[in-house]
Each structure stands twice: as C-alpha cells, then as structure tokens.
C-alpha cells in the first residue's frame, strides 16, 4: 500500500466533509457511549449489545453480518471501482467490577461496568461508519467495521472472528484504545511491539502438614513457596537480556486456615508479560524448572501449570507511518507522540498477524486530576472528546489511501 503523502485538494475537501459530519455526530456519539455504559455485558455473554450494533447498521442501510465468530458484528461499506479495503476494529465487552462513579450514566447492572473504554471504542466506530456512509461518494476505499466481543477474557473474540472471515478481502486494519491516564487531545503511535504477550501460571506446592508447634516433623509448603517466589526474581534479573522487557509477577498465594497448623499444600498464581517470543519461551521454562527444583531441594514437590494467553501486539511499519501521518494531518505534530510499549495484553495482535495493521492510543485523561483512575478501576472514566479524536483519526487514515 502506498502512503498518500500529498493529498489532492479534492481529497482534503472530502476528508473535511467527513470530519464535519463527525463534529455534528459528537452529541450522538456521547449518547450512544453512555447508553452502553449504563447497560454493560460481560465478555462472551454479550447479547443486547451486538443486537443494538447490528440494528444501527441495518437502519443506516449498510451491509451487516451478525454472529461473526459467535457474537461479533461486521459491517461493510463497499464502493464501486475502489481498489483497497481498510478495516477498523472496536471491542464492546465489559468487566466484572462494581461501578463506583457518581455520574448520571453509571452502570445499572450490579457488579458489571465498562472499566476499560470499550463503550467509547464502539461509539467512535459507529460514528465513523455513519460519517463515511453519509459521505460515501467521497470515500476513496472500501471500509470494514469490525465490532468484537470478548476482548477482556481469553481466548477473546479476535481469533474466532478471523476464522469466521472478518478479514476476508481486507488489505490493512487499524484499532485504537482510549487511555485514561494519557493527556487528552494527544494521539499516540508506535512501530513494532506496543502491547505485551500475556501468560498466566499456577504452582501447587505439596509438602507434609502437621502441628505448628513441631515444624521439624513437617514439610512446610508456605516456606517452600516463599523460597520459590524469591527464586523467580532471577528469571528477569539473571536469565534475561537487560535490553529485553519481561515481567514475572506472583499475584496470589493461598495456603492454610489455622494459625497453629502447618498445611499440606500451597497454591500460587501469577502472570508473565513479554514481547519477544524467545523471551516468552525462556520465562516459562525457567519458571517451571525453578519451582520444581526448589521444591525438590526442600523435600516437597511442585506442579506447574502455564496457560498461554494473547500474543504480543506488533504494529507494522508502513501502516504505523500511515496512522502517524493521519494523526498529524488532523491534530498537528505537537499533539502526536510516540508511546513506549505497555505491558497489558490485547487480542488485536491476531489481526496484525493476518494482515498489515497498526494499533494506536487516544489520550483521554479527565481534566480534574482527582477524577483520573487507571483502566479496570471501579471509578474509571474518560474524557469523551477522545472518542471524537479517535473517529477523526480513523477518517484521516481512510483518506491516506489512494
């Protein structure tokens, strides 16, 4: 694909028409987002959300397919005589968190909320679709709108939707994540790895239980587990190239119930975050050997289970350059920055394994610092103008293609 570095006057005018439509649609975008925020649905349990997205596209008069990969929705804007097909993806699932915000659009579903901005992603993509459809005689390429379910819970919805053909005929794909802790009004890009691979592990340590007063007659799994946790720190500090990013974190240890009883078993769980596949493999191998070896040295045993999660997300160079150029065209260089890679996972990685693409961030930090909370927090919220910035960036990307 060729980056259109010198858009013609007609292309600029066409983009400006779409941007103007998006400005007009902003109140509708906010209303849509707040509706989804009030009515969240958990990963792989989404029923009403995809129905409403499908109905939106049907009423718009656009080709739409529902049930893609299970619960996904894919709409297409197909234009005569166009050579390229560009796809954009938004996710729409929520999280099992009680909404603690004091806002009119607070979640109405106990224990479930949109705590990661997926409601905003969905609303931005729907507004983009409407803007491009209204101005379709000016749009230079076919556009596919992918609304994905289940991103928050592995195996996610991306792989299933890809298997069901959501990328058929697609030349490039783009996605954007709203970021509540990044400055609003700023757009972020990165070539190469931008989000980490995510694996989880559990280690079950088996010892010999007994009375807390006679520890010498036992094999204490809590002591063994403590030594294993300490030894895990060497995976990053002594087994991995210092220039390679890796995180190995133990998130929980559960053992025993009484203060005077040494239990028989202890179970720890944790996460591994990495980018390079060789580092990912090394971490899993070393974690297993360390747990089993330390346990054996202390007359215990350890059973290790590692569950592979999302792959690391790689942004292709050409598509990232296109995204960057699109951002600069809309916001100016002073509002476009390169982001360092981040450790959360994202199943957008599977799209860019199939077709060239790039995943970007939209700064969405609220003005009042006391209202700023990270993703997956019970009081998470974001500056809704970031949705408009996302949609404008996507529109500009469309017009980067000849």
The confidence band for 160, taking pLDDT boundaries of 50, 70 and 90, is very high
Query: Above pLDDT 90, what percent of the chain?
Result: 96
Query: Above pLDDT 70, what percent of the chain?
Result: 98
Position 107 pLDDT exceeds 80? yes
| CATH number, domain with residue 258 | 3.30.70.360
C-alpha dihedral (239, 242, 244, 245), degrees to nearest 10: 90
- Considering the candidates 93, 99, 152, 199, report the single residue annotated as catalytic: 93
Position 12 pLDDT exceeds 90? no
Position 8 pLDDT exceeds 80? no
- 58 and 178 fall within a common domain: yes
- The predicted structure's pLDDT at residue 386: 98
Q: Out of 253, 275, 308, pick the residue that ends a domain.
A: 308
Residue 213 domain-assigned (yes or no): yes
- The predicted structure's pLDDT at residue 3: 47
- 246 and 319 fall within a common domain: no
Please indicate whether residue 153 is annotated as part of the active site: no
pTM, two decimals, is 0.94
- The predicted structure's pLDDT at residue 237: 97
Mean pLDDT of 177-196: 98
- 336 and 298 fall within a common domain: no
- 51 and 150 fall within a common domain: yes
Mean pLDDT of 81-108: 96
- 168 and 234 fall within a common domain: no
**Contacts (Cβ under 8 Å, ≥6 apart) of 44:** 70, 71, 93, 149, 150, 153, 157
Q: Out of 249, 276, 308, pick the residue that ends a domain.
A: 308
Mean pLDDT of 373-400: 98
Please report where in the chains the tokens 């390229």 appear, as a residue: 84
- 162 and 52 fall within a common domain: yes
Phi and psi torsions of 213, nearest 5°: -80, -15
Q: Out of 263, 279, 308, pick the residue that ends a domain.
A: 308
Position 398 pLDDT exceeds 80? yes
Cβ-in-10-Å burial (0-12, 13-18, 19+) of 6 comes to exposed
- The predicted structure's pLDDT at residue 81: 84
Residue 380 domain-assigned (yes or no): yes
Going from the C-alpha of 297 to that of each of 52, 227, 264, 306, the distances in angstroms are: 58, 11, 17, 22
Position 134 pLDDT exceeds 60? yes
What's the pLDDT tens digit per position in 273-309? 999 999 999 999 999 999 999 999 999 999 999 999 9
- The predicted structure's pLDDT at residue 2: 42
Please indicate whether residue 46 is annotated as part of the active site: no
- 303 and 375 fall within a common domain: no
Mean pLDDT of 22-47: 98
The confidence band for 10, taking pLDDT boundaries of 50, 70 and 90, is confident
- 261 and 298 fall within a common domain: yes
- The predicted structure's pLDDT at residue 6: 56
Mean pLDDT of 384-389: 98
Domain that holds residue 174: 9-195+312-398
Q: Is there a contact between 393 and 187 (Cβ–Cβ < 8 Å)?
A: yes
Read off the tokens for 301: 């045993």
Residue 339 domain-assigned (yes or no): yes
- 346 and 290 fall within a common domain: no
Residue 4 domain-assigned (yes or no): no
Q: Is there a contact between 285 and 322 (Cβ–Cβ < 8 Å)?
A: no
Strands 301-308 and 197-206: antiparallel
- The predicted structure's pLDDT at residue 295: 98
Residue 1 domain-assigned (yes or no): no
- Considering the candidates 41, 151, 220, 383, report the single residue annotated as catalytic: 151
- The predicted structure's pLDDT at residue 401: 87
- The predicted structure's pLDDT at residue 234: 98
Position 4 pLDDT exceeds 80? no
- The predicted structure's pLDDT at residue 396: 97
- 122 and 182 fall within a common domain: yes
Going from the C-alpha of 132 to that of each of 26, 137, 217, the distances in angstroms are: 14, 9, 74
DSSP code of residue 109: S
Position 179 pLDDT exceeds 60? yes
Mean pLDDT of 374-391: 98
Q: What's the number of domains the chain is made of? A: 2
Long-range interactions of 207-216: CB distance < 8 A, separation 24+: 207/262, 207/263, 207/264, 207/265, 207/266, 207/299, 207/300, 208/264, 208/299, 209/261, 209/262, 209/263, 209/264, 210/261, 210/262, 211/260, 211/261, 211/262, 212/259, 212/260, 212/261, 212/262, 213/260, 215/262
- The predicted structure's pLDDT at residue 1: 38
Residue 104 domain-assigned (yes or no): yes
Residue 3 domain-assigned (yes or no): no
Q: What is the mean pLDDT of the chain?
A: 96
| CATH number, domain with residue 363 | 3.40.630.10
Mean pLDDT of 309-336: 98
- 188 and 272 fall within a common domain: no
The confidence band for 9, taking pLDDT boundaries of 50, 70 and 90, is low
Cα 42 to the center of its chain, rounded Å: 15
- 178 and 204 fall within a common domain: no
Residue 2 domain-assigned (yes or no): no
């Amino acid at each position: 694909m060729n980056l259109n570095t010198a858009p013609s006057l007609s292309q600029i005018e066409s983009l400006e028409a779409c941007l103007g439509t998006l400005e007009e649609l902003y109140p509708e975008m906010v209303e849509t987002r707040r509706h989804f925020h009030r009515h969240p649905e958990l990963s792989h349990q989404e029923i009403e959300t995809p129905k409403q997205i499908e109905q939106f596209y049907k009423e718009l008069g656009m080709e739409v397919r529902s049930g893609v990969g299970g619960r996904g929705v894919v709409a297409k804007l197909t234009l005569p005589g166009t050579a390229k097909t560009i796809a954009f993806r938004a996710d729409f699932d929520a999280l099992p968190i009680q909404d603690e915000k004091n806002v009119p659009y607070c979640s109405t579903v106990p224990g479930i909320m949109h705590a990661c901005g997926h409601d905003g992603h969905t609303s931005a993509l729907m507004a983009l679709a409407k803007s491009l459809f209204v101005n379709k005689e000016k749009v230079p390429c076919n556009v596919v709108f992918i609304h994905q379910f289940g991103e928050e819970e592995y195996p996610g919805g991306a792989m299933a939707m890809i298997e069901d053909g959501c990328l058929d005929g697609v030349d490039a794909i783009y996605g954007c994540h709203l970021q509540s802790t990044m400055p609003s009004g700023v757009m972020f890009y990165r070539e190469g790895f931008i989000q980490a691979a995510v694996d989880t592990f559990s280690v079950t340590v088996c010892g010999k239980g007994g009375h807390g007063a006679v520890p010498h007659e036992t094999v204490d799994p809590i002591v063994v587990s403590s030594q294993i946790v300490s030894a895990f720190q060497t995976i990053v500090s002594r087994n991995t190239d210092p220039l390679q990013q890796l995180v190995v974190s133990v998130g929980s240890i559960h053992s025993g119930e009484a203060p005077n009883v040494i239990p028989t078993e202890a179970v720890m769980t944790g996460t591994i975050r990495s980018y390079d596949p060789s580092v990912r493999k090394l971490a899993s191998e070393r974690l297993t050997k360390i747990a089993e070896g330390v346990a054996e040295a202390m007359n215990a045993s350890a059973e290790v289970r590692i569950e592979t999660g999302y792959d690391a997300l790689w942004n292709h160079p050409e598509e990232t350059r296109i995204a960057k150029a699109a951002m600069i065209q809309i916001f100016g260089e002073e509002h476009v920055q390169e982001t360092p890679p981040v450790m959360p996972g994202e199943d957008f990685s599977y799209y860019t394994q199939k077709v060239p693409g790039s995943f970007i961030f939209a700064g969405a930090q609220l003005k009042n610092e006391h209202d700023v909370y990270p993703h997956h927090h019970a009081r998470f919220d974001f500056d809704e103008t970031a949705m408009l910035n996302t949609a404008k960036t996507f529109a500009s990307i469309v017009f980067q293609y000849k």
